[in-house]
Structure 1
Amino acid sequence: MAAIQRQMNASEWAMLIALSVLWGGSFFFIGVAVKELPPLTIVTLRVGLAAIALLIVCRVMGLKLPREGRIWRAFFAMGILNNIIPFCLIVWGQTHIASGVASILNATTPLFTVIVAHFLTVDEKLSPNKLAGVLIGFVGVATMIGPSALGGSGSNLWGQLAILGAATSYAFAGIFGRRFKTMGVAPLMTATGQISSSTLMLIPVALLIDQPWTLAMPSTATWGALLGIALLSTALAYLLFFRILSSAGATNLALVTFLIPVSAILLGSLVLGEQLEMKHFVGMAMIAAGLVAIDGRLLRRVKAAG
């Protein structure tokens, strides 16, 4: 396997920031949808609508999904690790904890990823700078949300553990997904294949457990949230996800979870008129420091200049 580049270029950073905005919005969309629909139905609609959108894109572009059995086995495995497990855990978790708490716990993904990558890859080994950067960034996210948000017990505790479980699953998905590049599967095909596989696995389970035909018709706001999370936070987001993964690697890609709370707070301030507090600025500064430490280029330039 060719080595994944360790430093991201300007284009990859731009895609990473865009991805953070798309995924940051998913916590808001979920917060709206869970008020009217059960978690499994939300996840099934999320991946199902996203799969339809991506299949239409493939059809318009004249592209056909691969037919090899080994590729589809990888699609199904990726669907479990990257969609079914984390999506279900996050939606269920957000029935017990606030979206802000979910976003900070989701930001542990890079910490899990650098550890998993160290043991399961040959070109993304753990370095002192990388570990320090991840820890600094995580503390920054914790500072933004505030320590009081992590308190609680009972259902709150289980909700928090669910989000941590999702973060762990994302970490393994990031490592597993690297194989699609060596298989010669383009990012669009990978995104479409794994989201379609997830849909095929989830539909019978949702029909059996939730019996959606017995549920009340969702409101316009809920349908809007479902379309947003499916088309923006899933279909479009995964196009960016696999493009970054194929070129920058799992560890760099995991940095997006640091940026998600930042984008959520900024969007809340600009769109909803929410006020930024000093802890938000301190947290964002620490997150920036963590990203600098992981990227490494600025530190090397400082050392060279000295």
Structure 2
Amino acid sequence: MTATEWGLLLLLSLMWGGSFFFIGVAVKALPPFTIVAARVSIAAALLWLAAPLTGVSPARLRAAAPALAALALLNNVAPFSLLTWSQTHLASGLVSILNATTPVFTVVVAHLCTIEEKLDPRRLAGALVGLAGVAAMIGPALLGEFADHLAAELAALLAALSYAAASVFARRFRRLGLTPIDVATGQVTASSLVLLPLAALVDAPWRLPAPGGATIAAIVSLGALSTALAYVVYFRILAGAGATNVVLVTLLAPATAILLGAVVLGESLAARDFVGLGLIALGLAVIDGRLPQAARARLAAAGRR
């Protein structure tokens, strides 16, 4: 990854880390499908308003409509709904940590679905360490100590798996001649067409009490910053650095989510959650390969001296 791509990855981590905070505010007043439908609809509206400036092509989007619909299900509809529902039961910081397993799932999905990103001993070891981090966090729930949270934790992990599949699937759009802004606009538009009727059917939002100013601000920020702008950055990184690199953002995002959750929402995490995050971080460092390479280079240099 270039320095520019690392900078974009940091920016994306701030926007996506903030999304867990915005959801944490919104779920106190609105049901999950209403939040998710509003999120993607605001993003779609903003991206279409910017279309004359960004060069989005309706003709290109129509030609790739089936693939964009599939991406919308994998990258928006399923994970957004699962993560938002899980935050009705779990702290935003914990959900962000569970979502940090996305790169671990990505190396497995990439191995199964691609030719060029096969598992090797290093990536396999990293995936196993990352999964050990997941076990450290949800193990007590499996033993019955926190059984009421188990479904929410599994929902967050299922969302991470969906993101992993989406990051591998999305690489095909470069071959279809779509720009990152085309893909971002197409997927949130398709997601809106699915989620708006679903929210109307399940939540009947017109019957809900009017949300307060904080809830409205959280929803607008979620759609504008954490979705519309974030996906432009996401697909820009994906096009240049590949699926395995772009999902490293899920390791950086928990820092923002945990800080905002603790300071603003008064959330706290158990020690085992930080142990799990540490193991996931170690696993991703092994998967990434740059830290082991740097360590070997330093040892070799020390040996020559």
Q: What TM-score comes out, normalization by structure 1 length?
A: 0.85
Mapping of residues 249-288 of structure 1, within 5 Å: 249-266=242-259
**Which of 146, 151, 162 pairs up with 1:152?**
146
Report deviation, 1:68.
5.9
Is 2:194 the partner of 1:201? yes
- Matched letter for residue 80 of structure 2: F
Give the corresponding residue for 2:46.
53
Q: Secondary structure at the match of 2:296?
A: helix
Is 2:44 the partner of 1:16? no
Give the corresponding residue for 1:76.
69
Report deviation, 1:135.
4.7
- Matched letter for residue 36 of structure 1: A
> Which 10-residue stretch deviates more, 38-47 or 281-290?
281-290
Aligned residues: CA RMSD: 3.0
Which string of whole-angstrom CA distances, capped at 9 and with x for unpartnered residues, describes residues 157-196 of structure 1?
1111111111111111111111101111000110000001
Aligned length: 297
Is 2:92 the partner of 1:126? no
Q: Structure 2 unaligned runs (5+)? A: 301-305
Give the corresponding residue for 1:114.
107
Judge conservation of contact 2:17–2:257 (CA < 8 Å) in 1.
yes
Distance in 2 of aligned mates of 1:281 and 1:101: 9
Distance in 1 of aligned mates of 2:22 and 2:267: 18
Report deviation, 1:101.
1.9
> Which 10-residue stretch deviates more, 99-108 or 128-137?
128-137
Distance in 1 of aligned mates of 2:264 and 2:82: 28
Mapping of residues 150-299 of structure 1, within 5 Å: 152-154=146-148, 156-266=149-259, 289-299=282-292
Distance in 2 of aligned mates of 1:209 and 1:288: 38
Q: Secondary structure at the match of 1:185?
A: coil
> Which 10-residue stretch deviates more, 109-118 or 65-74?
65-74
Judge conservation of contact 1:137–1:258 (CA < 8 Å) in 2.
no
Change (3 A) 1:9 1:280: farther
Q: Secondary structure at the match of 2:30?
A: coil
How many percent identity over aligned positions?
52
> Which 10-residue stretch deviates more, 66-75 or 215-224?
66-75
Change (3 A) 1:84 1:231: same
Report deviation, 1:55.
1.0
Judge conservation of contact 1:262–1:284 (CA < 8 Å) in 2.
no
Report deviation, 1:148.
7.2
Change (3 A) 1:10 1:291: farther
Change (3 A) 1:141 1:278: same
Report deviation, 1:242.
0.8
Report deviation, 1:301.
4.4
Change (3 A) 1:149 1:98: farther
Judge conservation of contact 1:137–1:288 (CA < 8 Å) in 2.
yes
Change (3 A) 1:287 1:170: closer
Distance in 1 of aligned mates of 2:131 and 2:264: 26
> Which 10-residue stretch deviates more, 165-174 or 124-133?
124-133
Report deviation, 1:262.
2.1
Change (3 A) 1:94 1:116: same
Distance in 2 of aligned mates of 1:287 and 1:200: 35
Judge conservation of contact 2:93–2:261 (CA < 8 Å) in 1.
no
Distance in 2 of aligned mates of 1:53 and 1:96: 31
Give the corresponding residue for 2:303.
none
